[in-house]
Amino acid sequence: MSNELSNKTVTYLLGEISGMLENMQNSLRTEIAETRDSLQSSLRAEIAETRDSLQNSLRAEIAETRDSLQSSLRTEIAETRETLQNSLRAEIAETREALHAEIAETRDSLQSSLRTEIAETREALHTEITETRDSLQSSLRTEIAETRDSLQSQLTQINLTLEQNVVQRLNTIESCYVSTYERYSQGINQLESIQSDILVMKDVIMKHSTQLAKIS
């Protein structure tokens, strides 16, 4: 009997406990769900605020960093450019001076070398011209002397030929000319006689013609 009561009591208690536990579970589930929803909403809001805050902070920091970097880079670039310009100007000036000096040295060296070469060439040409002139003068003197001797020999031969042939021919021509002149003189005399006879005949014919005309 006592055992049955104990069993019922235990069963009852277990039922109560089970109901209480179920109620507690339901309550806990509800509370957990509400807490979860509240936490989710709160976390979402906090995360959104944190994200916006971080974004704004990052944007501001990025903008400041960008501006700082731009300013720093501009300054560094300007300094570097100025340094490079100064360095290049100095290097260009040094190079220009070095080139001027080298050009001057080269010009002086070339002028000296050319003067020496021109002087040597002039002297060599003068010597060669003198030698050529002397050689030509000697050769021309010899050739002129030989030509003169040859011409004198030819003139002598021509004179001999003239004396032997031309003079004889001139004598022959002179004799022929005299004979021809004599014949010409005789022909002139005969021509004058013929012309005189023709004039006499013309006079006779004119008289006869006049007489015949009168008779007619």
Please report which confidence band the pLDDT of residue 208 belongs to, taking 50, 70 and 90 as the band edges.
low
Region 195-216 average pLDDT: 71
The DSSP string of 137-198 is: HHHHHHHHHHHHHHHHHHHHHHHHHIIIIIHHHHHHHHHHHHHHHHHHHHHHHHHHHHHHHH
> What is the Cα Rg of the chain in Å?
79
- Quote the CA–CA distance of 95 and 91 in Å, as a whole number: 6
Please say if the pLDDT value at position 4 is more than 60: no
Q: Which long-range contacts (CB under 8 A, 24 or more apart) does 149-157 make?
A: none
Q: For residue 52, which amino acid is it?
A: D
Cβ-based neighbour number of residue 100 at 10 Å: 10
Region 126-151 average pLDDT: 80
Q: C-alpha angle 50/56/61, rounded to 5°?
A: 120
Q: C-alpha angle 142/148/153, rounded to 5°?
A: 130
Please report which confidence band the pLDDT of residue 3 belongs to, taking 50, 70 and 90 as the band edges.
low
Q: C-alpha angle 141/145/147, rounded to 5°?
A: 115
- Quote the CA–CA distance of 41 and 50 in Å, as a whole number: 14
Q: For residue 4, which amino acid is it?
A: E
Please report which confidence band the pLDDT of residue 116 belongs to, taking 50, 70 and 90 as the band edges.
confident
Please say if the pLDDT value at position 159 is more than 80: no
Report the mean per-residue pLDDT for the chain.
77
Q: Is 0.75 surpassed by the pTM of this model? A: no
Name the more confident of 8 and 27.
27
* Least confident window among 75-89, 112-126, 181-195: 181-195
- pLDDT in the model for residue 177: 63
